[in-house]
Amino acid sequence: MMSPEIKSKKQYIRIWFEFYKLSLLDPDLKDNIEKSSKFYKPWGDVSNLKFDEWWKTSKPLFVETLEYITTLSIIGSSSQKPFSNHLRYIHLHRSDICLGIS
């Protein structure tokens, strides 16, 4: 039997969400849930929520951060600056762009 194909990251998150809800009900997992409570705090109380309702407000938790690398040119000749033949990099992080999650 073939397993179903998961076509979006949102569906992976749906499975994670449902597993987390089930984990909250399992007394054998209580210690693990307590240890990970800091991680799950932004998720809020999910016990009585359906995924699609929770997703409306929680989608920003899963935004992927893009990292751009920009090369800066060095002004002056190589004789004036000992490291001018090396490139300098700045990493710009943007969290306002969402990739691949619909």
Tokens of 83: 């490291």
* Model pLDDT for residues 46-78, shown as the tens digit of each residue: 999 999 999 999 999 988 655 554 554 445 545
How much is the mean pLDDT over the chain? 74
* Model pLDDT for residues 28-47, shown as the tens digit of each residue: 999 999 999 999 999 999 99
